[in-house]
């Protein structure tokens, strides 16, 4: 259970600072408690140190290991073009709905890497994973949302075997999204969106 690190990936903007920082730090602390990692008390300070002198938007990656070591890296962030639609395909790789570690963002990413490897980047911007029961779970780096016409986006429950995404949490708290199981049929019956805290909510189109 300890041969991995916890991860948080977030955006920093010169005008607004760290986007959804409170939710990211809360998830990191909650995950650390659940698996017996030290509390990441220095995470916010490490992030601030990493953006000293930055003048453009940055993609921040923070890791916390079982010894409490925190590492932060920063790289320039390039947003998606306005109005872009992601092409999404479904992987043959399946998620184990009983694996509770999938609810946390960690460096244990073999299942996501296997799914991503099923299609070249030229054929899919994102790969969607189902669980062992055939239920829609998440993308390799995104949460899944469906606009079914009710006025509130629907997103799968974490009990299906998926990450408690920060953007997902924010949208649920704002009552812009609700939890509900999603079938493959639902993906084309309504409007599909994929999203994460780094990039926000993106329109998507299922192909194949």
pLDDT score of 208: 86
Q: pLDDT tens-digit profile of 36-92?
A: 999 999 999 999 999 999 999 999 999 999 999 999 999 999 988 888 999 999 999
User: What is residue 65's three-state secondary structure?
Assistant: coil
Percent of the chain at pLDDT exceeding 70: 99
Domain annotation for the chain: domains and CATH numbers? 6-76 (3.30.470.10), 85-206 (3.20.10.10)
Decide the pairing of beta strands 85-95 and 126-131. Answer: parallel
Asked if the model's pLDDT at residue 138 lies above 60, the reply is: yes
Q: What is the pTM of this model?
A: 0.94
pLDDT score of 82: 85
Backbone angles phi, psi at 12, to 5 degrees: -120, 135
Nearest 5°: CA angle at 132, between 88 and 173? 65
Q: Are 32 and 55 in contact (CB under 8 A)?
A: no
Q: pLDDT tens-digit profile of 173-202?
A: 999 999 999 999 999 999 999 999 999 999
Q: Are 144 and 137 in contact (CB under 8 A)?
A: yes
Q: Are 95 and 77 in contact (CB under 8 A)?
A: no
pLDDT score of 83: 86
Q: pLDDT tens-digit profile of 83-135?
A: 899 999 999 999 999 999 999 999 999 999 999 999 999 999 999 999 999 99
Asked if the model's pLDDT at residue 2 lies above 80, the reply is: no
Residue 84: count of CB within 10 angstroms of its CB: 11
What is the C-alpha to C-alpha distance for residues 203 and 142, in angstroms, rounded to an integer?
Answer: 12
pLDDT score of 123: 96
pLDDT score of 108: 95
Contacts of 9 (CB under 8 A, 6+ apart): 59, 60, 61, 62, 105, 196, 197, 198
Asked if the model's pLDDT at residue 25 lies above 80, the reply is: yes
**Mean pLDDT along residues 16-29:** 98
Q: Are 162 and 120 in contact (CB under 8 A)?
A: no
pLDDT band at 3 (very low <50, low <70, confident <90, very high): confident
């Amino acid at each position: 259970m300890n041969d991995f690190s916890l991860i948080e990936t977030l955006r920093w903007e010169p005008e607004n600072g760290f986007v959804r920082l409170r939710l990211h730090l809360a998830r990191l602390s909650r995950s650390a408690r659940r698996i017996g990692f030290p509390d990441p008390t220095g995470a916010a300070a490490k992030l601030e140190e990493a953006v000293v002198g930055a003048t453009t938007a940055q993609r921040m990656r923070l890791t916390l290991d079982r010894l409490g070591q925190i590492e932060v890296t920063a790289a320039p962030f390039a947003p998606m073009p306005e109005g872009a639609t992601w092409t999404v395909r479904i992987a043959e790789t399946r998620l184990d709905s009983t694996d509770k570690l999938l609810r946390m963002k960690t460096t244990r990413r073999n299942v996501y890497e296997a799914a991503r490897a099923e299609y070249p980047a030229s054929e899919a911007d994102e790969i969607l994973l189902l669980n062992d029961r055939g239920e829609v779970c998440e993308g390799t780096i995104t949460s899944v949302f469906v606009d079914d016409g009710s006025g509130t986006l629907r997103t799968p429950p974490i009990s299906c075997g998926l990450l408690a995404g920060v953007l997902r949490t924010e949208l649920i708290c704002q009552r812009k999204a609700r939890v509900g199981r999603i079938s493959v049929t639902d993906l084309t019956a309504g409007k599909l969106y994929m999203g994460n805290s780094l990039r926000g909510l993106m329109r998507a189109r299922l192909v194949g």
